[in-house]
Amino acid sequence: MKIICIGRNYVDHIKELNNAVPDEPVLFLKPDSALMNMHLPFFLPEWSNDVHYEAELVLLISHVGKNIEARFAHRYIDQITLGIDFTARDLQSKLKEKGLPWEKAKAFDGAAAIGKWIDYKTFATKDKIAFHLEKNGQTVQKADSSLMIYNFAKIIEDASKYFTLKKGDIIFTGTPAGVGPVKANDTLTGFIENEQMFSFHVK
């Protein structure tokens, strides 16, 4: 199982980080060891002083596929959830300044939180799936999938050119505006539509 992530997929988030709008999906990977144990809190890494939450719709791949055309991409999506791509922003900034890869800041142990899975087919309108994230009971991120620069189909088409998709692979589809820091004793709660996907504490 691999975790494929999409960066810079919402215009407002690109603006808040002063990045350029990409000409194609920005892809990076996390190892399976990045998956957070959702029965435990998220433990802040001792080597960072600025870890940020990034809430994202997350897709579960249903079977093997390579060079998948966008029009057939829906056949490869089994379930969907909300997740958090945790980012050590201070370390990421240093790595970007040096032109180095982001993995240390994005793929550390516990950096990929995912909620409960729900059947993708239950959504009548799959191009406008609403989600939001609350921190300590206050909404900090709110968007829907229609705001993506690259939709689910384009993401799967592009990713499958480079990586063979396998059953059980996970795709984080990008975060909207509103990312911010977490600190010890925070509580993060995520929703798709009005259904709670997860809730956990930060230690």
Instruction: Specify the CATH number for the domain of residue 47.
Output: 3.90.850.10
The pLDDT tens digits of the residues spanning 99-126 come to: 999 899 999 999 999 999 999 998 888 8
Give me the percent of the chain exceeding a pLDDT of 90: 87
Spatial separation of the C-alpha atoms in residues 184 and 54, rounded to whole Å: 17
Spatial separation of the C-alpha atoms in residues 21 and 37, rounded to whole Å: 33
| Mean pLDDT of all residues in 35-50 | 97
- Predicted confidence at residue 62, as pLDDT, reads 96
Average pLDDT, whole number, for the chain? 94
Check: CB of residue 75 under 8 Å from CB of residue 174: no
Q: Rounded to the nearest 5°, which phi and psi values hold at 50? A: -155, 70
What does pTM read for this prediction?
Answer: 0.95
Spatial separation of the C-alpha atoms in residues 36 and 28, rounded to whole Å: 18
Q: Into how many domains does the chain fold?
A: 1
Going by C-beta distance under 8 Å and a sequence separation of 6 or more, which residues neighbour residue 194? none
Instruction: Supply the range of the domain harboring residue 157.
Output: 3-201
How confident is residue 130, by pLDDT bands cut at 50, 70 and 90? very high
